């Protein structure tokens, strides 16, 4: 249920009074643990199937799926870290929460309404630990401990309200330790809790932890069918990006094939202790020797880079999965599992060689779709799979609704609680609006906005070019063919144009507005 908070304030009724009196038996409100990794592709979760099904190291994430609901169409609104995090916190599109890009961005305005603030106000004990990536200090939480910016994998710095300090260890393990510590200290506080556990992994440059260094050493991964995509049948944006495995992915920093060890400092590998470095070298030195001896070229080199990329990427995920297992075990051992909702998500999707790419940003499937799995004992039917179009825009309202807190009317998503109960409302969204802004910038993906329906996507690249693209996911699931100028799709395009216009009005966005607050 949505309520207009400013109207209530005008009547002299505070939201807290409202939420308080709407609750009975507040201590029974569910705890919420939101585990979010960074750049975890759904293709790299075994429970999601696909070509890596038998190789993805995700037994514990799969456990959440078995006990909960797997969302197969969770769409993000702007596929990049900081903006996704701001959308999750506020339940508002980027142009309204003010955090539109990672680069060249003012810090997130933490004085605005966010779901942690509303939960805290309603009596929840709240915390955020791990990657934050929003520039300003977190607000609305009783406890926070965050990585500066992207953070480092080994011996990372953390920032708390007392300042910045360095810790010894591997980032995924440190974040897990801190979260379990906070849970132990707060589980008996008499208040329900909401913890945001934000992993850095498996973000670039994909540095595996000490326990996982050799995990995929001898594994060969199947290749995606579009690994050698040449972007024919598509427009200027796809042809001019800078995110291919072949050209953009660096042999040294990304694939650890260092010739010049001085470059290790670019990726934080200079932070390793002598013992950590010895373990690292014992794994990578033989790979380096072999690689430079083999003198690979052309497609053989791309194939090799893809394999090397996935070895490290999945090894990083193995540590995240272990972390998830530790949280689930902790809940069970402490009798908290029945009343704790556990969510596993990634900030956005990611390319694992599809279209020859890594990274994200596009409105194409692999980056637009994020994994989302929710376990809510007694409410969600174990092992259920949902294909409704949900969005990271819905998370704030979902969390508030789970906690029985009134949802402010200016949030732009919708609570997924009815879906979790197996009762999808008949008027659930049938179309989703997207807007990506960070251009020029890393990976050079041009600015675009668009509408997605079950079957089609209409995309407009509008900033330094003016090109429309239309994809039919039914006849072209891999999105290899822009059919915008195909006469047989003329009426589909006309219809989508109208619906897109309506969506932009609904969410208060427009091309003109976007141009007005972006760097020229």
- 479 binds ligand SGN per the rule CB under 6 A: no
Q: How far is the CB of 7 from ligand SGN (least distance, A)?
A: 37
With contacts defined by CB under 5 A, name the span among 75-83, 109-117, 235-243, 439-447 that binds Ca ion.
75-83
Q: Per the omega criterion (within 30 degrees of 0), is the bond before 495 cis? A: no
# residues contacting ligand SGN (CB under 6 A): 13
- 305 binds ligand SGN per the rule CB under 6 A: no
Q: Are 203 and 172 in contact (CB under 8 A)?
A: no
- Nearest to ligand SGN of 249, 342 (CB atom): 249
- 401 binds Ca ion per the rule CB under 5 A: no
Q: Which does 443 bind (CB under 5 to 8 A by kind): Ca ion, ligand SGN, none?
A: ligand SGN
Q: Which residue in the set 347, 365, 438, 469 belongs to the binding site for Ca ion (CB under 5 A)?
A: 347
Q: Which residue in the set 29, 35, 37, 38 belongs to the binding site for Ca ion (CB under 5 A)?
A: 38
With contacts defined by CB under 6 A, name the span among 179-187, 197-205, 255-263, 294-302 that binds ligand SGN.
197-205
| β-bridge partners, 390 | 74
Q: How far is the CB of 145 from Ca ion (least distance, A)?
A: 19
Distance CA 131, CA 133 (A): 6
Q: Which does 92 bind (CB under 5 to 8 A by kind): Ca ion, ligand SGN, none?
A: none
- Count the helices and strands in the chain (H runs, E runs): 15, 17
Q: Is 36 exposed, middle or buried (0-12, 13-18, 19+ CB in 10 A)?
A: buried
Distance CA 252, CA 219 (A): 21
Q: How far is the CB of 348 from ligand SGN (least distance, A)?
A: 7
- Nearest to Ca ion of 81, 366 (CB atom): 81
- 205 binds Ca ion per the rule CB under 5 A: no
Q: 149 to each of 133, 265, 485, how far by Cα in Å?
A: 5, 16, 42
- 39 binds ligand SGN per the rule CB under 6 A: yes
Distance CA 21, CA 461 (A): 48
Distance CA 5, CA 375 (A): 30
- Nearest to ligand SGN of 258, 489 (CB atom): 258
Q: Are 500 and 450 in contact (CB under 8 A)?
A: yes
Q: Is 211 exposed, middle or buried (0-12, 13-18, 19+ CB in 10 A)?
A: middle
- Nearest to ligand SGN of 264, 504 (CB atom): 264
User: Interface residues for Ca ion in 266-295 (CB under 5 A)?
Assistant: none
Q: Are 76 and 84 in contact (CB under 8 A)?
A: yes
Q: Are 374 and 402 in contact (CB under 8 A)?
A: no
- 241 binds ligand SGN per the rule CB under 6 A: no
Distance CA 313, CA 212 (A): 11
The residue ranges that bind ligand SGN (CB under 6 A) are: 38-39, 80-81, 102, 133, 150, 203-205, 359, 442-443
Interface residue list for Ca ion (CB under 5 A)? 38-39, 81, 347
């Amino acid at each position: 249920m949505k309520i207009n908070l400013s109207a209530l304030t005008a009547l002299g009724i505070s939201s807290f009074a409202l939420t308080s009196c709407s609750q009975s038996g507040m201590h029974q409100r569910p705890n919420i643990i939101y585990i979010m990794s960074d750049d975890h592709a759904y293709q790299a979760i075994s429970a999601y199937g696909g070509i890596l099904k038998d190789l993805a190291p995700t037994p514990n994430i799969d456990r959440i799926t078995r006990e909960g609901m797997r969302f197969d169409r969770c769409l993000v609104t702007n596929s990049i870290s900081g903006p996704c995090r701001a959308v999750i916190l506020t339940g508002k599109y980027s142009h309204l929460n003010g955090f539109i890009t990672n680069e060249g961005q003012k810090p997130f305005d933490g004085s605005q309404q966010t779901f942690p603030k509303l939960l805290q106000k309603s009596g929840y004990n709240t915390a955020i630990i791990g990657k934050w990536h929003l520039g300003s200090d977190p607000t609305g939480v009783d406890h926070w401990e965050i990585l500066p910016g992207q953070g480092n994998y080994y011996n990372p710095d953390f920032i708390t309200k007392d300042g910045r300090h360095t810790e010894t260890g591997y980032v995924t393990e440190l974040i897990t330790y801190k979260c379990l510590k906070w849970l132990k200290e707060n589980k008996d506080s008499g208040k329900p809790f909401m913890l945001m556990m934000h992993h850095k992994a498996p973000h670039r440059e994909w540095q595996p932890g000490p326990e996982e260094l050799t995990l995929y050493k001898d594994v060969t991964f199947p290749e995606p069918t579009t690994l050698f995509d040449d972007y024919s049948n598509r427009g200027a944006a796809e042809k001019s990006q800078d995110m291919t495995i072949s050209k953009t992915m660096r042999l040294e920093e990304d694939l650890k094939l260092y010739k010049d060890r001085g470059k290790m400092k670019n990726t934080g590998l200079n932070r390793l202790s002598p013992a950590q470095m010895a373990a690292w070298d014992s794994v990578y030195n033989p790979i380096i020797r072999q690689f430079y001896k083999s003198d690979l070229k052309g497609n053989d080199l791309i194939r090799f880079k893809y394999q090397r990329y996935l070895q490290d990427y999945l090894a990083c995920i193995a540590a995240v999965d272990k972390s998830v297992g530790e949280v689930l075990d902790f809940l069970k051992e402490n009798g908290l599992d029945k009343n704790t909702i556990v969510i596993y998500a990634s900030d956005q999707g990611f390319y694992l060689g599809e279209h020859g790419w890594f990274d994200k940003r596009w409105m194409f499937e692999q980056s637009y779709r994020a994994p989302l799995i929710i376990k809510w004992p007694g409410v969600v039917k174990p092992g259920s799979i949902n294909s409704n179009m949900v969005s990271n825009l819905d998370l704030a309202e979902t969390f508030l609704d789970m906690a029985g807190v009134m949802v402010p009317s200016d949030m732009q998503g919708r609570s997924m609680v009815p879906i979790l109960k197996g009762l999808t409302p008949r008027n659930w969204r049938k179309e989703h609006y997207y807007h990506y802004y960070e251009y020029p910038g890393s990976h050079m993906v041009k600015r675009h906005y668009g509408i997605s329906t079950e079957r089609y996507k209409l995309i407009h690249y509008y900033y330094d070019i003016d090109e429309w693209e239309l994809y039919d996911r039914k006849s072209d699931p891999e999105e290899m063919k822009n059919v915008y100028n195909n006469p047989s799709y003329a009426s589909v395009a006309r219809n989508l144009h109208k619906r897109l216009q309506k969506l932009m009005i609904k969410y208060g966005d427009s091309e003109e507005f976007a141009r007005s607050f972006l760097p020229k």
